[in-house]
Amino acid sequence: MKFKGSPPDPMPTDWEERYLAEDTPWNKDLPAPGLVDWSDRNPTPRGGSALVPGCGIGHDAHHLASSGYLTTALDLSPTAIGLAQEKYPGIANLHFREGDFLQNPPKEKFDLVFEHTLFCAIDLDRRQDYACSLKDSLKPGGLFLAIHFFIPREQEEPPFGTNLEEITDLFSPFLELREQWTPRNFPNREGEEQMFLWGMP
Ligand SMILES: C[S@@+](CC[C@H](N)C(=O)[O-])C[C@H]1O[C@@H](n2cnc3c(N)ncnc32)[C@H](O)[C@@H]1O
């Protein structure tokens, strides 16, 4: 049921179309500042593997690979994957892969999953699917490092925000919260981002 004053239902986003039209305001051509700061403080475990779902043009994935992670970067959009491969070619520990994280998460499990602007891009009713794919993607002892947008959930189009209650409900059934902090952010995202480190028991 819709109440008077509720925002209209969002239109599904055609991500491939957005990349083809070069309508990609989320792309900052740099890794997320919060990720850069975290990886400066936390040495990469020897042989550690990382997954970046919804990698876009691959800046975060490239940063993790440069930090030493054997990195798999996944995106639904073939154009995004092509652009990422063009921008970051021939890096032995960085693999770009086309795929749907919600329907077909990678078969392998990872030491680290890094979330940045995929959770806020999917429809609200797919968030439980996101949690299931995340659970399937982490090794025992693995880490989920996430930047979330603490802005309103109900919007006409992405980014769809979240809050502490929602992410606790979604992730605490299988992950332990280790840390929460306000990260350094891109200039137009002041005060919107919260960063979380979760661990798989
Ligand atoms: C807002 S963009 C963010 C891209 C990148 N993380 C960045 O910060 O530049 C969301 C990305 O998620 C991808 N995406 C959306 N749904 C997906 C899904 N189910 N599986 C994998 N990628 C998805 C889109 O193609 C798009 O590249």
Residues with CB under 6 A from ligand 1: 15, 26-27, 53-56, 74-77, 80, 100-102, 116-118, 121-122
Taking CA atoms, 108 is separated from 50, 113, 157, in Å, by 11, 12, 32
What is the per-residue pLDDT for 30? 97
What is the per-residue pLDDT for 191? 87
How many alpha carbons fall within 13 Å on the CB side of residue 127? 19
**d(Cα 23, Cα 5) in Å, to the nearest integer?**
29
Helices 127-137 & 164-171 angle (0-180, nearest 10)? 50
What is the per-residue pLDDT for 155? 87
What is the per-residue pLDDT for 5? 44
Please give the distance, rounded to the nearest whole angstrom, from the Cα atom of residue 3 to the centre of ligand 1: 30
Low-confidence ranges of the chain (pLDDT < 50): 1-6
197: β partners: 145, 179
Mind listing the domains of the chain with CATH numbers?
49-199 (3.40.50.150)
What is the per-residue pLDDT for 6? 47
